[in-house]
Structure 1
Amino acid sequence: MPAFTTLTAMGIEDLDQISRFQVTERDDHDELKVCFQRPAGSCLPASLKFRFPHGNNPEVQATLHRAMDELEQILGQRNADPRAAILHNLEQFERVMEAKMEEIKHRLATLPA
């Protein structure tokens, strides 16, 4: 995998586990959320958020755009086959549903009879 210097500088080291990202525009900043596909039982975060303040510093927005370009390149390489992308999304959805069902079962088991 090529070097992704912007993401690495932001502290993102596990590039192979990136599953998606989104950018949300807020009042005074843009928020980049990077989501990861973690193995079951991992204590690493499922996502990271980065704030890019609006203002007169063009380097801040340039960094956001470089990060987005790198993320699109990573995900584009992985999702070049549309069928594979759909299967990946389905597998990810199944993992989320299984984890949620386990959480609900656990909460139900801890309720008094």
Structure 2
Amino acid sequence: MSDYPTLEEMGITSFEDISKYSLRRQSDADVLKIYYKRPKGSLLSRSKKFTFAHPRKSIPLQFRSGEKWDSLKDSSPRLQSAVAELKKLTAEPAALPPEDLKARFLEDLNHLETVVNSKIDELRRQIENMK
């Protein structure tokens, strides 16, 4: 039996490659994105996205946009279980020293720069192909 049954049910098998995850709320769903450590040139995806629909509630429309509506939204039990397993997988043993923290921020910044530049290049190619 696996230590991460929910993640396994979701089709995730390379637990040791998971580097981080993010969770965001959209109007009608929670979106969980799992990021992987991959070597340069790898053809495997660097992330996977999972969407969990919010359960429907019979609450009057005028209350749905308010503060109280947000507190009434329930996350999927499967999502809660997956996040608990991801927290175990990505738990940091202790606070990083400032040097390591600086290196991590620089690494994140470099990754962001690569992603943005890649997207800009893709958009430029699409524009060029419009002629």
Q: TM-score, normalised by structure 1?
A: 0.70
Q: Distance in 2 between matches of 1:52 and 1:97?
A: 26
* 1:102-113 superposed matches below 5 A: none
Q: Give the CA RMSD over aligned residues.
A: 3.2
Q: Distance in 2 between matches of 1:16 and 1:95?
A: 23
Task: List aligned pairs for 1:4-23, cutoff 5 A.
Answer: 4-23=4-23
- Between Structure 1 and Structure 2, how many residues are aligned? 100
1:90 offset after TM fit, Å?
Answer: 4.9
1:15-34, Cα deviation, whole Å (9 max, x unpaired): 11111111111111110011
Partners of 2:37 and 2:103 lie apart in 1 by 10
Q: Deviations over 1:62-91 (max 9, x none)?
A: 100000000000111xx2132277377358
> Counterpart of 1:74 in structure 2: which amino acid?
L
Point out where structure 2 has 5 or more consecutive residues left out of the alignment. Answer: 57-74, 123-131
Query: Taking structure 1 as reference, are residues 6 and 87 closer, same or farther at Cα in structure 2, changes over 3 Å only?
Result: farther
Rounded to whole Å, the distance in 1 between the matches of 2:19 and 2:77 is: 23
Change (3 A) 1:18 1:89: farther
TM-score when scaled to structure 2?
A: 0.61
Larger radius of gyration: 2
Q: Give the 3 Å change call, closer, same or farther, for CA 48–28 of structure 1 in structure 2.
A: same
Q: Structure 1: which 4+ aligned runs deviate by more than 4 Å? A: 97-100
Matched, 1:81 2:99: no
Check conservation: 1:30, 1:54, Cα contact below 8 A: yes
Aligned-residue identity in percent: 27
C-alpha deviation, 1:96, in angstroms: 2.5
**Aligned position for 1:38:** 38
Q: Distance in 2 between matches of 1:81 and 1:87?
A: 15
CA distance in 2, matches of 1:49, 1:97: 18
